[in-house]
Structures are given as C-alpha cells and as structure tokens.
Amino acid sequence: MIRRVTAFAAGVLATYTLAAIASTQMILGEVAALGLPVSFGNRTAATLHDLAGMAMSYLPLIGASLLIAFPLTALILRYVGLPRTLGYALAGGAALWALHLIMIAAFGLHPVPATRTALGLALQAAAGLVGGYVFARIASGASRKTAQ
C-alpha cells in the first residue's frame, strides 16, 4: 500500500513538473517568436515561478485526473492483455488529454494557455504519459529490482 501511495505521488509530481515546464516553455516560445528576447535566465526564472505558482491550481487537477485514471486502468488491465507499464503510461496520457478537453469545454477557454495548440496539448498528454510510466515502475517495484 505504501509503495502504491509513493508511486502515485511520484507519478503526479513527475506529470506536474513536466506539464508546467512544457507550458512555460511553449508560452516563452511564443514570446520569442514575436521578436522579444528570452534569455536562458528568463526561461529558468519563469519556469521556477510557474512551478511554484501553478501548484495550488494545476497540481490538484492533475492529481484528481490521475486518481481517476489509475484505478480504472488497474480494473481494465485485469481483462486486457496489455503490459502494466504501457497501460498506466497510456492512462496518464489520456487523463491529461481529457483533463484539458474537459476544462476547455467547461470554461470555454484554455486554463493552461499552452494547450491552445495541438503541440501544447500533446506535450501535456506526454507529461501524463511519463507520469503513468513513473507510477507503474515504482508501483511494481521495478526500480528496486533493478537496483539490486
């Protein structure tokens, strides 16, 4: 049980970190495309600011979406012959993709501006994919087995 809770927390944090970084960099890419200078220092400062600033709103939404996706995936994997790691990775990606589509439908706008483009939405889903992978690896104890 403790391993699953740890795996869930690690999956959520991995997803959040990658999603926030991707969002920040997408927005800064748009700023740079307008011809404004964006230095490495600006990118670093903006990324750290967004990691802290989005934690109160975006992190709980990611946690909630993965809290729905992972138990549902566990149920599905009982009946579908899919590798666990692949199943959870796909679930994480689908959860983030669905989260953004639901927020867009519910609010009529993009709460995470980077999702205005297909690439931005794909990067958010990719963050969920990585988070699902992290969850599966830790929950199965694979990281501990390879360390021995």
Residue scoring higher pLDDT (145 or 101): 101
Q: Concatenated DSSP letters for 127-144?
A: HHHHHHHHHHHHHTTHHH
Give dist(CA 55, CA 53) in Å, integer.
Answer: 6
Judged against a pLDDT cut of 60, whether residue 148 lies above it is answered with: no
Confidence (pTM): 0.89
pLDDT at residue 19 is higher than 90: yes
For residue 41, pLDDT over 50 is answered with yes
Q: Is the pLDDT of residue 145 over 80?
A: no
Tens-digit pLDDT profile for residues 82-129: 999 999 999 999 999 999 999 999 988 888 888 889 999 999 999 999
Place of tokens 């989260």: 99
How far apart are the C-alpha atoms of 114 and 131, rounded to whole Å? 19
Average pLDDT over residues 27-55: 92
pLDDT of residue 147: 43
Residue-wise pLDDT for 67-87, tens only, equals: 999 999 999 999 998 999 999
